[in-house]
Amino acid sequence: MVEQSIRETCKIRKWDFWTTNVRSNHVHSVVSASCKPEHVRSALKANATRKLREAGCWLSSRTPWAERGSIKYLWTQEDLNEAIAYVEYDQGEPLP
């Protein structure tokens, strides 16, 4: 559900979605957008929270996310490739 909301947000906002890896306690995503990365992070969190609440998977009035989250600028194709590889292959075994 979280991955679906990330993909939907990118599609609606015309951002380039590269990859995501949703874990039990955090999410990594690689997205290209022509706006500040804080805006991207905020939109992804907000839409994922909305989807979780609509599905009854998050009942708390508090956010399920940490207050912030890391942001990295990817200036070169090599940076992008490394970020995609990190998200796809360096997060541990796939979740069931």
**Two structure tokens written together for 91:** 């997060």
Q: Where in the sequence is the domain holding 83, given as residue range(s)?
A: 2-89
Alpha-carbon gap, residue 69 to 64, rounded angstroms: 12
Q: Please provide the DSSP assignment of 13-64 as one string.
A: HT-EEEEEEE-SS-EEEEEE-SS-HHHHHHHHHHHHHHHHHHTTS---SS-S
Q: Is residue 94 in some structural domain?
A: no
Give the confidence band of 2 by pLDDT, cuts at 50, 70, 90. very high
Q: Is residue 95 in some structural domain?
A: no
**pLDDT of residue 94 exceeding 90:** no
Task: Determine the length of the chain.
Answer: 96
pLDDT of amino acid 53? 95
Overall domain count for the chain: 1
What does the pLDDT average to over 63-73?
Answer: 87
| pTM score of the predicted model | 0.88
